[in-house]
Chain A
Amino acid sequence: MKLSSSPLVQFFLLGLRGVLREKSVVFWSFLFPLFVTGIFVQAFSPSNRPDPFRLGVGGFAAVDAPWLSTLSTAEGVTLVQVDDALSAIPNYAEALSRETDAKSLPSALRDIFFRQKIDALLTPTGFFSLKATEASARDVNRILAAKARARGETLEIRPVNVKGVSFADWFAPGMIGLTILTGGLFGTSFRLTSDREKGLFRRYMLTPFRRSDYVLGFVASRAVFVVAQSVLLLGLFRVVFGFQVHGSVVLFLGLVCLGSLASNLLGAAIASRIQKSEVAGGVANIFFFPMMFLSGVYFRTENFPPWLKSITDCFSLSALNTALRAVANEGLGVADVSFEIGVLVVWAVACLALTVALFDWGQER
């Protein structure tokens, strides 16, 4: 028997053609993830700060004049004189040293930060910033280096983390994970419900076809497409953002495959009993939106309360994103992502069991 005459292969080809012959697939599968990633990287990448660091300086006479002079010529620093404003605030130094919360500062002192739009305040008693960010840490280093140069000293500033992860490196695996979930949830649930709506299952039931051939062929076609899509996305992300997989690419694509399987079987489970394709989309949203926002796609979830984290860690998308980042960003191996693999396998098996038990093939029960 020729391979192409196998019903499993025929359903596989049918599933693949169904995706490849839709022109909108090109946009949603490739251009949209690239577009969203580009927007987020531009918006949140800390290396992109168009404005120079605005440093408020008060109490001039007491501060080292040569240092100030050097600082005023430092790249990326704009000095803002707040001497007069500070002198009008009695005990400002004490307030700055005592309070750790901007809301607790005297209003006049708060006004200096906000009205003058300064990022930090340098006084004879210290350096004060309202922004505890990586960017402000780098600026502090720059200020210290300027001070050292003014004194003829060589101050070597070395960042603590030599190997860091750019925002693009962090974001890209999450976007790949989200693309996989979207295709599986919406693509599969819509396609299966639509087939039922058109009466195709009833038509198949007149033949000796095997139901497993239909499900496996379709899921396999989606998995192959998603792996190919991920390879192309990896290439695009590499070219545009310099993203690369530091660990095993085979493991990365294997996780993509497993994530696709779990997502597609979730889509199949959703489509099991739904008769209208519009309803399938609505039900898919019940799963999609919590996962999209709480699975670490757009922001880290390490700061979630423990009770919430214990729930979101069990989301299939959370497991997929965590595993993809572990392999891509940190170069970890199979053993290190075994928990996440287990979560994905549990999702796949549970959804397969639900599908087998509940799927409406058009026969009267």
Chain B
Amino acid sequence: MKKLEKGLERPAPAVEVTHLRKVYRKPEVVAVDDVSFCVDVGSCFGLLGPNGAGKSTTLEIIQGLKRPTSGEVRIFGLEFAREGRHIRSRMGGVLQENQLYAKTKVREALELFASFYPAPRDIPSLLEELDLAPLAERFVKDLSGGQRQRVFLATALVGDPDLVFLDEPTTGLDPSTRQDFWRIVSNLKSRGKSIVLTTHYMEEAEALCDSLVIVDAGRVIEGGTPEAIIERVMKGRELPAAVRTATLNDVFLTLTGRGLEAFR
């Protein structure tokens, strides 16, 4: 806990990343280069950037799947090395590439993941919340891409986590399904969950994130709320005639000379 001047204790942030660095050997690649940020409890935080920027590597280090070369990660003020099991009981995640057993029913998959947690959600109500109730007895292999993504999200939420990680959750989904996903994430936020998501869709970051960092080649090149970033970077710059208001794509283009759109 951090003590404020007036003697009040501020709760530890959901995620605190300090000077994170990840270097792969043979060949030597700096995947994450001195990344630092904080995620407030109850907020949605985004890592925005093109493919290969280091977003997923950063997320995997935070989730405890990879070890940093240097730097520190704390989840609710705790370290993985000492409190790994406790941290995992408070978090849930959707990986960039997800799979479940093809011949498992949706309900069975949720029962499996629910069994890992001390106080899981009620599965029927979770299925209702994610519009999965009609699919409860269907095999995972028989679901569409959008339905499957919702099942993956359900497995991440079944433990009633305080912190949810979403790694490129809407990649490959049609716009309508993507909008449904945004609605679900917004509901999570309204229930006080902390969310960390990675995306290369700038409109997704603008729609969902309370604050974000823009990542390119492993480094944070900008950070803050979407509005503040746009204001700060695009102030006084000339925009193409067809564009009335600047977007995060414009920000990325200004900062790097490349558009986020080019990396889809």
The chain A residues found within 8 Å of chain B, CB to CB, are 4-7, 9-11, 13-14, 17-18, 21-22, 198-200, 202-209, 362-364
Contacts and interface: CB of A to CB of B under 8 A. Distances in A.
B206 to A, nearest CB: 27
12 contacts: A4-B111, A9-B115, A10-B115, A13-B108, A14-B101, A198-B99, A200-B100, A203-B99, A206-B63, A206-B91, A206-B156, A206-B165
A7 B120 CA distance: 12
B115 A205 contact: no
A206 B101 contact: no
A17 B103 contact: yes
A199 B95 contact: yes
Contact of B93 (A10, A206, A209): A206
A245 B254 CA distance: 81
Closest 7 CB pairs of A and B: A198-B99, A207-B116, A7-B115, A208-B88, A209-B116, A208-B89, A10-B115
Contacts of B182: none
Given A14-B112, A199-B97, A205 B64 contact: yes
Nearest to A13: B108
B95 A207 contact: no
Contacts of A205: 64-65
A7 B65 contact: no
B144 interface: no
Contact of A207 (B67, B101, B103, B159): B159
Contact of B65 (A5, A10, A21, A363): A363
Contact of B117 (A14, A21, A199, A207): A207
B104 interface: yes
Contacts of B65: 202, 205-206, 362-364
A28 B224 CA distance: 60
B98 A14 contact: no
Nearest to B118: A208
Given A203-B98, A206-B64, A364-B66, 9 more contacts: A7-B112, A10-B115, A13-B108, A18-B101, A199-B95, A205-B65, A206-B93, A207-B116, A208-B85
Contacts of A203: 93, 95, 98-99, 155
Given A363-B64, A364-B66, A7 B101 contact: no
Contacts of B99: 198-200, 203
Contact of A18 (B89, B91, B103, B159): B103
Nearest to A361: B65
Interface residues on B, range: 20 to 34
Interface of B: 63-67, 85-86, 88-89, 91-93, 95, 97-101, 103-104, 108, 111-117, 155-156, 159, 165
B111 A10 contact: yes
A334 B131 CA distance: 57
A14 to B, nearest CB: 6
A365 to B, nearest CB: 8
Contact of B67 (A18, A198, A364): A364
A208 B115 CA distance: 10
Given A17-B104, A202-B95, A364-B67, A208 B117 contact: yes
Nearest to B120: A5
Contacts of A21: 103
Nearest to A207: B116
Nearest to B156: A206
Contacts of B111: 4-5, 10
A187 to B, nearest CB: 15
